[in-house]
Chains A and B, each alone.
Chain A
Amino acid sequence: QKEVEQNSGPLSVPEGAIASLNCTYSDRGSQSFFWYRQYSGKSPELIMSIYSNGDKEDGRFTAQLNKASQYVSLLIRDSQPSDSATYLCAGGGATNKLIFGTGTLLAVQP
């Protein structure tokens, strides 16, 4: 069974620190990976997509992909209280479907 696993948290970091969110996946056929942010009671919002090994940076966010280790991570620099949310990792393969992890709850303490 294809799975995406995340630590449910909560991950608590002080304001201004770097938050590191991790994700592993079981399907070696997965080709694309995504990080979504979901505030309580709201729908997911796409933050980052990554398709090749290495790092991809966008503002305060950096996604990292290591296909050999089947590992995806998201770094949030200069964390703000407004970053407090559940972060969902998702992997996509040859089909149209995304496989979502259960999400990591991030709490940024002012």
Chain B
Amino acid sequence: GAVVSQHPSRVICKSGTSVKIECRSLDFQATTMFWYRQFPKQSLMLMATSNEGSKATYEQGVEKDKFLINHASLTLSTLTVTSAHPEDSSFYICSARGDYFSPTYNEQFFGPGTRLTVL
């Protein structure tokens, strides 16, 4: 149980293009998902909290118009990096909070991550 998938696992794009990353909870409903970014040899940096059916809450310093988050269903959240530039190259990881009715409600389960390279 508590499996989270991400797609794509790796993407290479040209500067100026937009990239969409999908995060799915496969065997449970996730009312809350999180998006993190991790640069090499650094820890996870929370970008935003995504709540199903409402606007995402962004962390300080994260541009909401650049990193568009949509959480339209209880099993899917998407992150779109708009007009990507080389400095956006990073490892993007989503996580989902456990099902509200399960003992894992306070736990976060991570997807496998998406490695973005912007040329």
Contacts and interface: CB of A to CB of B under 8 A. Distances in A.
Interface of A: 32, 34, 36, 42-46, 49, 51, 88, 92, 96-98, 100-103
B77 interface: no
Nearest to B59: A97
Contacts, number: 41
A98 B44 CA distance: 10
A73 to B, nearest CB: 18
B112 interface: yes
Interface stretch (B13-21, B67-75, B80-88, B102-110): B102-110
5 closest Cβ pairs, A-B complex: A43-B113, A102-B43, A43-B110, A43-B93, A32-B106
A96 B43 contact: no
Contacts of A36: 110
Contacts of A97: 34, 46, 49
Given A45-B110, A49-B107, A102-B43, 18 more contacts: A34-B107, A42-B112, A43-B110, A43-B112, A44-B44, A46-B110, A49-B106, A51-B106, A88-B43, A92-B106, A96-B32, A96-B34, A96-B49, A98-B34, A98-B108, A100-B44, A101-B43, A102-B42
